[in-house]
Amino acid sequence: MTTSERIEDIAIAMVAEGKGILAADESTGTIKKRFDSIGVESTEASRRDYREMLFRAGEAMKNHISGVILYEETLFQKAADGTPLVDLIRDAGAVPGIKVDKGAKLMPGSEVETVTEGLDGLRERLIRYYAAGARFAKWRAVIAITADTPSWNCVKANAHALARYAALCQEAGIVPIVEPEVLMDGEHSHHSIERCYEVTEWVLKTQFSELYDAGVNLEGLVLKPNMVVPGQKSGQQVSVEEVAEKTMRCLKSTVPPLVPGIAFLSGGQSDADATAHLSAMNAMFTPPWKLTFSYGRALQAAALAAWQGKPHNVAAAQRAFAHRARMNGLAATGAWRTELEQAA
């Protein structure tokens, strides 16, 4: 590992000013759903073409994207002209990353709560991913709010697994993205913003305690949390300012200032909401960490709709991607305005 590849330096590059992370790590099942929505068959070639189109979107990638999370298939794929996709990402000045978890599986005895699997064999996989060019990784834990969840067992099990994953990543010279996501898509009317705050605070306090116990270097990780928002089906309406205020309060009470950056997930928010909330946090507060984005659907939905799987739509799709990337890049510095959306 060269000195320029210290995990602390990679983590700082991942949260560079005005840039954020593109989550392009949809599993084969998820990308099929996305492609079904535009009537495109999901094949290795169509998945490659779609992602190559994003990675070759020069304006978006060079100016607004600091890193790209890949699915394992994509990490080893080559572009149509034979260039490894990892090289396209590096040439744009972004850091290639890899999703390493094996998915959330139901906990014994529960019909709601899950624990994320994938620790067995992870050390060996990380060596292979590092050799292929990956310099950060992602592991997502999922916490559901219902009338009687989350349980302490679920919070603890997921925090422990995330900490073990993070320690293994750092051992391999790879920056871990630590993603404990409190879901916003519960069916339940009692998933208020206040309840989301309580659960998110509990999850993050537990997470940093586990990271400490596992000996994880806080300067060499990026946190990927949910924002503090009401559940989608709670019926509660809150302002952008309230989301920003409660999210910042929760993070300040749980996340040590040594962490270089927080890259939010969009978690089912609309494209515009995800951008507005991030911008408000940066405009209203002076956070001790970089606050940026790690969005999948919120960066890609417009591009996917414009593409429709047709080569003659590539330029239009790249423009749609560039617009969302620019809007979120502005949000990462608190400079986004609604008018800028209309101007496009």
List Cβ neighbours of 262 (8 Å cut-off, separation of 6 or more): 15, 222, 223, 224, 225, 251, 255, 287, 289, 290, 291, 292
Helices (H), ranges, 214-343: 240-252, 271-284, 297-307, 314-331, 338-343
Q: Give the helix/strand (H/E) hosting 33.
A: helix 28-36
Q: Beta 114-116 vs 104-106: how paired, if at all?
A: antiparallel
Nearest to 66 by CA among 89, 83, 87, 88: 89
Q: Length of the chain in residues, anyone?
A: 344
Active-site pick, 224, 252, 290, 310: 224
- Distance CA(81)–CA(83), nearest Å, equals 6
Provide the residue type at 206 as one letter.
Answer: T
Q: Is 224 a catalytic residue?
A: yes
Catalytic residue positions, numbered? 224
